[in-house]
């Protein structure tokens, strides 16, 4: 069973992307975990557009700019997400409760059990993962999935508009991130 299934088995929104690459699972996993989104002008543009449309702020109220990205997992943890569980070189699940439709988005990371038990009205519970598995010797399937569960009808209503507006950018970022990892790993093989 996927770890993400353990933490968010019931969800209302889901985004999933994957790619296959001719490298060992541990190498693909490490590359995705340490991906620097700052290396993509298009990803930076998506975040700039989102900031323009809605505003992205850190917990301290400072505007998050693309220069602050750094390694993917380190960056999201800095934003307030938490690691729910990790099986090294196989799957990592991070999660947060938040109100992504708010002007000042705050991500509240919780422990795995607290995340599963969270039911406070007016929030979105969001979990995403990085997962790898060997499909045949020397070929790895690398994927990432996001799941969202809403805690009440009001949150469901607000999230529906947020998702309509920002889902294209979220999908584009995920697609570009996987493409970047695949390209980087192919480049490493030729060097």
List the domain boundaries for the chain: 3-190
pLDDT band per the 50, 70, 90 thresholds, residue 5? very high
CATH architecture, domain defined by 3-190: 2-Layer Sandwich (3.30)
CB 105 within 8 A of CB 57: yes
Cα–Cα dist 148/111, whole Å: 17
> Which helix (H) or strand (E) is 158 found in, with range?
helix 153-190
pLDDT of 45 over the 50 cut: yes
Q: What does the pLDDT read at residue 61?
A: 42
pTM (two decimals): 0.85
- Asked if residue 28 has pLDDT above 60, the reply is yes
**Model confidence band, residue 66 (pLDDT cutoffs 50, 70, 90):** very low
In the sheet with 124-136, reading across from the earlier edge strand, the strands are 13-21, 139-150, 124-136, 91-98, 82-87
Q: What is the pLDDT of residue 190?
A: 63
* Residue entry with tokens 């409760």: 97
CB crowding 40-65: b at 16 or more within 10 Å, else e: beebbebbeebeeebebbbeeeeebe
């Amino acid at each position: 069973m996927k770890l993400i299934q353990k933490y968010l088995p019931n969800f209302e929104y889901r985004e999933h992307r994957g790619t296959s690459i001719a490298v060992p699972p541990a190498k693909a996993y490490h590359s995705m975990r340490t991906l620097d989104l700052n290396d993509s002008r298009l990803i930076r543009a998506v975040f700039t557009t989102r900031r323009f449309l809605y505003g992205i702020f850190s917990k301290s109220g400072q505007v998050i700019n693309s220069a602050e990205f750094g390694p993917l997992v380190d960056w999201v943890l800095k934003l307030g997400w938490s690691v729910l569980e990790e099986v090294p070189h196989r799957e990592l699940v991070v999660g947060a409760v938040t109100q992504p439709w708010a002007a000042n988005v705050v991500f509240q990371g919780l422990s795995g059990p607290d995340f599963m038990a969270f039911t406070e009205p007016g929030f979105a519970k969001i979990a995403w993962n990085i997962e790898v598995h060997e499909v045949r010797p020397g070929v790895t399937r690398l994927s990432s999935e996001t799941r969202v569960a809403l805690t009440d009808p009001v949150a469901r209503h607000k999230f529906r508009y947020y998702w309509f507006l920002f889902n294209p950018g979220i999908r584009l970022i995920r697609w570009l991130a996987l493409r970047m990892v695949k390209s980087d790993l192919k480049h490493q093989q030729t060097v």
